[in-house]
Chains A and B, each alone.
Chain A
Amino acid sequence: MDICSMTALELGEKIRHRELSAAEAVRAYLARTEAAEPEINSFVTVDAEGALRRAQEVQKGIDEGIFSGPLAGVPVAVKDNLCTRGLLTTCSSKILSDFKPTFSAQAVRNLEKEGAIVIGKTNMDEFAMGSTTETSYYGVTRNPWNTSHVPGGSSGGSCAAVAAEECPFALGSDTGGSIRQPSSFCGVVGIKPTYGTVSRYGLIAYGSSLDQVGPIARSVSDCAAVLEVIASHDKKDSTSIRREDYDFTRALTGDVKGMRIGIPKDYFGEGLDSEVKEHILHAVKKLKEEGAVVEEFDLSLVQYAIPAYYVIASAEASSNLARFDGVKYGYRAGNCDGLHQMYKKTRSEGFGAEVKRRIMLGSFVLSAGYYDACYLKALRTKALIKQAFDSAFERYDIIVAPSAPTTAPKIGKSLSDPLKMYLGDIYTVSVNLAGLPGITVPVGQDKKGLPIGMQLIGNCFEEKKIIRAAYAVEQMCEYKAPKLCGELKNSAGGKSTCREGGRQVWRDSMRQ
């Protein structure tokens, strides 16, 4: 029985039925992580000591009947922009290299209330700004399918960790595709919920009107079960929404008979890799055979989504990241003459190039003289994009799209041309602008052996429809694990990582 290749729900069931203890599950994943990390670098921090301690508490809770849910005793990896009380939370930035939050994000709290066990914090593009996980201060994360390729981003660490079986599931965040695109590149499932579904309390903000927390796992069922736990109305997040339904697992039927599926022609034209296109359309054909009604249509405005997105996201980022000033937490530059110079020097030394680029752009588009022409224009464009989706959803239950134009690029090929990298987000950013839910589900691999993901987009609050269709797709395209997973089995473990000057250092933890 290989614990690490189980899904979260399978593992939870074994723990519930006392076939496995929570500590055994945690130890198995720590061992796998220790073996995989030199190759993959999914984690910024592995908290072996805390996870093993927590496993004892959770086991007691399971034995006493306090924890009885499907995720009790199941390990989870959390993206490093979600606050975890007392556990290093860096946003993969130098500026937060020693920040230990005094509270946990609501999504993390919801998981802990159900007995899930946080084993560590995953690598990401610095402050979630990027599509490759190459802008992290703590080194690149490598794609478990081929370690010379990127895992995608910005939740690249979470997706790589799930694919490499370093954890059964993980949390990510999605501002412009940061869950769906890396899920596609790593061959796993990821959901970006309707805006407001998961509380943003404790999520270190990038673009507040676009950010959503969501689950990443190796099955649609796991993602639905995790979403059911993390979604909640939260008065600590003023944009949190009280939904009518939270029972997402009820949609795991695979029944797509009569479901109306729209294929936006503008998403399948120029710029889309032919192998990606072929695999997605093949999956669509299978849905049709299962009784779905498929139709092509013109979504329109597609070419305006990226410029509108970068104006809005950068504007919000420039405001949100103003809090990092070296006063109350994080890095502070030395030898400063006066307060103002300390702010400037701290930020200039603490932020990486991509973060500075977006703060500069955001400050510019919000400045007097450009506010109307850039920022308000982008918000008007957003309104039109939302209208285009509204009218599409009058005719269709779901929309099918690629998650990205290509499979994962090679490490080192993307950052030199930021604009080209931004264009890779073409199929994902509109969903954030319109607040819609989206899911990525694997549909195969290209000739190089890299995974291809298919994106299913739903109308606001209609997660169940995309989960239903994604579950059907999953039944047709069986989950495959990267070869690496087989090679990594059977190692001992129980070490934690710490960081010294950005370098990953492993140290022995308490072994049980």
Chain B
Amino acid sequence: MANKISDETIEYVGILAKLELSGEEKENAKADMERMLDYIDTLNELDTEGTEPMSHVFPVYNVFREDIAENGDGSGDTLANAPLVKEQGFKVPKTIG
């Protein structure tokens, strides 16, 4: 019990989550996560030895179909939602320095 989250861990989780947290947000996130993990630790009381992890309640299968286009060209509508467009593409900030 009493999980401790270090500054490095919260930094690392921020990288995984692609979130930039302010100093205060980081402290709050640490406290929140420590409390949640303490709570999640109650699962350790439960003996799950020999129980398979269940990701879906029913069996899940891949659903295949022939590779034939069923919808029209929606590129105009799709691009209309883009924050920035350039020549029929999504425009993003510089990717390589």
Interface on A for B, CB 8 Å cutoff?
Answer: 98-100, 102-103, 195-196, 209, 235, 238-239, 241, 301, 303-304, 306-308, 310-311, 318, 322, 325-332, 336-339, 341-345, 347-348, 351, 356-357, 359-367, 374, 376-384, 386, 418-419, 434-435, 460
Contact = CB atoms under 8 A, between A and B. Distances in A.
A379 B57 CA distance: 10
A342 B83 CA distance: 12
Given A306-B39, A347-B18, A359-B17, 17 more contacts: A98-B81, A238-B61, A310-B36, A311-B40, A311-B43, A322-B18, A327-B83, A336-B93, A344-B20, A347-B19, A348-B19, A357-B29, A367-B16, A374-B40, A381-B43, A381-B48, A383-B52
A406 to B, nearest CB: 20
The interface residues of chain A, by DSSP majority, are classed as: helix
B68 interface: no
For A209, A361, A367, which residue has the most chain B Cβ atoms within 10 angstroms?
A361
Contact of A383 (B44, B51, B65): B51
A363 B48 contact: no
A459 B92 CA distance: 49
A238 B56 CA distance: 12
22 contacts: A102-B77, A209-B55, A235-B65, A301-B46, A307-B39, A307-B43, A310-B36, A318-B16, A327-B90, A328-B78, A328-B81, A337-B93, A339-B94, A341-B93, A344-B20, A347-B20, A356-B17, A356-B19, A357-B29, A360-B10, A360-B14, A383-B51
A326 B53 contact: no
B17 A100 contact: no
B84 A332 contact: yes
Interface of B: 9-10, 12-14, 16-21, 25, 29, 32-33, 35-37, 39-40, 42-46, 48, 51-58, 60-63, 65, 74, 77-78, 80-84, 90, 92-95, 97
Nearest to A433: B57
Contacts of B32: 357, 360-361, 418
Contacts of A103: 74
A195 B57 CA distance: 8
Nearest to B35: A419
B58 A380 contact: no
A356 B17 CA distance: 9
A1 B26 CA distance: 57
Contacts of B58: 195-196, 239, 241, 435, 460
- Report the 6 A-B pairs with minimum CB-CB distance, sorted nearest first: A435-B57, A379-B53, A380-B48, A332-B83, A329-B81, A383-B54
A149 B69 CA distance: 49
Nearest to B63: A238
Nearest to A355: B19
Nearest to B36: A361
A459 to B, nearest CB: 12
A339 B81 contact: no
A492 to B, nearest CB: 34
B43 A308 contact: yes
Contact of B18 (A343, A366, A381, A383): A343
A310 B20 contact: no
Given A339-B92, A363-B16, A239 B40 contact: no
Contacts of B57: 195, 209, 386, 434-435, 460
Contacts of B9: 364
B55 A379 contact: yes
A386 B20 CA distance: 38
B61 to A, nearest CB: 7
Contacts of A337: 93
B40 A339 contact: no
A233 to B, nearest CB: 11
B56 A239 contact: yes
A460 B61 CA distance: 19
A303 B40 CA distance: 11
A362 B16 CA distance: 10
Contacts of B14: 360
Nearest to B83: A332
Nearest to B45: A304
B43 A378 contact: yes
Contacts of A338: 93-95, 97
B13 A209 contact: no
B95 A307 contact: no
B18 A344 contact: yes
Contact of A386 (B12, B16, B54): B54
A342 B17 contact: no
Given A307-B39, A339-B95, A380-B52, A318 B60 contact: no
A384 B36 contact: no
A378 B82 CA distance: 38
A379 B95 CA distance: 38
Given A379-B54, A383-B54, A328 B82 contact: yes
A102 B77 CA distance: 6
A406 B42 CA distance: 24
A360 B52 contact: no
A331 B83 CA distance: 7
B53 A383 contact: yes
A454 B90 CA distance: 49
